[in-house]
Structure 1
């Protein structure tokens, strides 16, 4: 996310329960303590599956990635390149909400992964629970090529920013107007449409999108003022929401069943897939919200050097440029050359990156419980 990586039309796994990451973690014995209750609101955990990608000899490097088409594209574009270059084997393990709890419940000296992906929520709570090694910068020289904004807006002490995705507006091609900003979801044209679809597993993204559209404060800062949270909720309530989606499948089905004409979703899950759906397109707002993945070395691994080498590999400009041919995600190296027309939508410098309101979990952690409950109540009462 982040979007749940199984949220694509091809997946058959669609969860509608509202069990949070924290609630699931509380059901097991943590090796380093439980996650804060403020992680509430995350999507129901999807069962991870482990796949061994055959290559060179030696113990494989165990790498945890998001499930679904993220994993498919990662294995197609990243894994073979790494294995050929380093004559080493990667064991790709797919998951989602179970990633942190799997680390917590494992023995201290035998974590389930050597390297794990994290978005902002996971990265914050994983650091609070002491799940990650500090990144030794001498082993990741590609950090010197980070776009400044990604290097500065969030700590890189325990994880390196590599990739992510902004939220985009999915809509019908024949709608009476083309929505260009999140404010347009409050417009008369959208009010008179069939309706809107939003993500429910990760409530903070529709909330931040609404805040960006309100434009009362600079780029979504309404979410960082508790006195304005009610105003943000009121904006979301005014959207004609007809699909509270727990998966990408829900969104595509809602369009196909003429339930909605507009939706909030994720560029990385949309750009390379939307041509498969008749009559749909998407528009990336100039100012938006989105998620950024920090890649972390898991505490307890006996492959810390190799893990940092792998993170450095992911940060390489040539690797990211080739990766973009398979996955339409934003990348953090200032020298990355995006495939096709991706650079028209995705940031290539700090000025453009600053137009994405990434959720601030240092702040949200104090309020996420009540925000999650209010968002759930809004959905229940709709």
Structure 2
């Protein structure tokens, strides 16, 4: 999930992520050895496609250039993954950190000289990257861990150009001393929540609160309301009825809104909540049995001359032992059915295909046709609140 340098996952990924305004160094290309750097300054800068993007120390042609989401995601990735990889492989990792400019950097680079070799890509990055042929196909026969991926994760998106590895479901944060105890997304429409201080939701990733609202409506299976054009207005009306008091552009916005007594309930993301909530007094979170969420597909960038090494790295990310160690540092959902989560996470995150199917992941094959209209409606609601 896209992130800025200040936090796990920035929530300013609107359609400007897809049509990023980020530019290269002015030449229209991205040199293989050039250090990439851009300072991200809050949500507005992220919207403009600015981000922290740089080569690792001592980077060279024998290193695999891996793009990850900036912020705590990158920090925890480095802590949980790099040492594992480098202990077993001769090829080092040149870690790059990026945000909304990731796809644009690939587009701007010569087809045979990409800015990095491997990239993370959540749902809409994966969809739009594939539309522009920015990724190379992955040979499943070279993925020794492919058969251990829960089937659901390979069904929701064709993994030919990217393997599903890591992600997070949405969770409900709530104040302990408020008269609310939400267990499901339908509870955000309850009288108790209506009488509370208010609700906080993600602003930029508008599709997640919409999917949460659709799940709570319970008129169709899962988030089926999102796939009926005639019901989109009903989903938007459901969100308006929640009584939104915080249209958050970041996790920091959500935590601050709780500390300032602006909200009593929030829709947010498990990976930014499970470990971090202990830093705040009087807050808990509940994982709904039926929820929505995001998952990263890891891709090989077009034109890389390290295709084999990139496949090896993605296969490494799919390994059950690797994901189990990664989960010690980062409370994310992982794709291998044999993962061993820390005790404090295992009750919340799916370890079977049946459990994974309780998460409604946005389908960008469908959403792309409605992206502009739904985004505009979401902005209208925010501006009118």
TM-based fold match above 0.5: yes
Q: 1:44 deviation in Å?
A: 4.8
Distance 1:86 1:363 in 2: 40
Match of 1:49 in 2: 53
2:105 is the counterpart of 1:102: yes
Corresponding position of 1:111:
114
Query: Counterpart of 1:363?
Result: 366
| Of 348, 351, 368, the match for 1:348 | 351
> How far does the alpha carbon of each residue in 1:299-342 deviate from its partner, in whole angstroms, 9 at most, with x for none?
01000000000000000000000001001101101111111221
Out of 82, 87, 107, the position equivalent to 2:85 is 82
Q: What is the CA distance between 1:88 and its match in structure 2? A: 2.2
1:24 alignment partner in structure 2 = 20
Distance 1:26 1:368 in 2: 21
1:17 offset after TM fit, Å?
Answer: 10
- Over the aligned positions, Cα root-mean-square deviation in angstroms equals 2.3
What is the number of equivalent residue pairs in this alignment?
367
Give the corresponding residue for 1:4.
3
Return the alpha-carbon distance in structure 1 between the equivalents of residues 132 and 61 of structure 2.
31
Deviation at residue 15 of structure 1 after TM alignment: 8.6
Q: Map 1:313-324 onto structure 2 (within 5 A).
A: 313-324=316-327
Q: Which residue of 1 aligns with 2:132?
A: 129
Any conservation in 2 of the 1:58–1:89 contact (CA below 8 Å)? no
Query: Are 1:153 and 2:125 matched, yes or no?
Result: no
Contact 1:183–1:210 (CA under 8 A) maintained in structure 2: yes
1:218-367 equivalences under 5 Å are 218-367=221-370
Which stretches in structure 2 are left out of the alignment for 5+ residues? 30-45
Change (3 A) 1:226 1:16: closer
- After TM superposition, where is structure 1 displaced by more than 6 Å over at least 4 residues in a row? 14-19, 26-31
Q: Which residue of 1 aligns with 2:201?
A: 198
Counterparts in 2 of 1:339 and 1:53: CA distance versus 1, 3 Å: farther
Instruction: Confirm or deny: 8 A CA contact 1:119 1:291 kept in the other structure.
Output: yes
**In structure 2, distance between residues paired with 1:154 and 1:331:** 15
Tell me by how many angstroms 1:23 deviates: 3.9
- Shift of the 66–344 alpha-carbon distance from structure 1 to 2, 3 Å rule, reads same
Offset at 1:27? Answer: 7.6
Given that residues 100 and 122 in structure 1 are in contact (C-alpha distance below 8 angstroms), is that contact kept between their aligned partners in structure 2? Answer: yes
- Name 1:139's counterpart in structure 2: 142
1:91 paired with 2:87, answer no
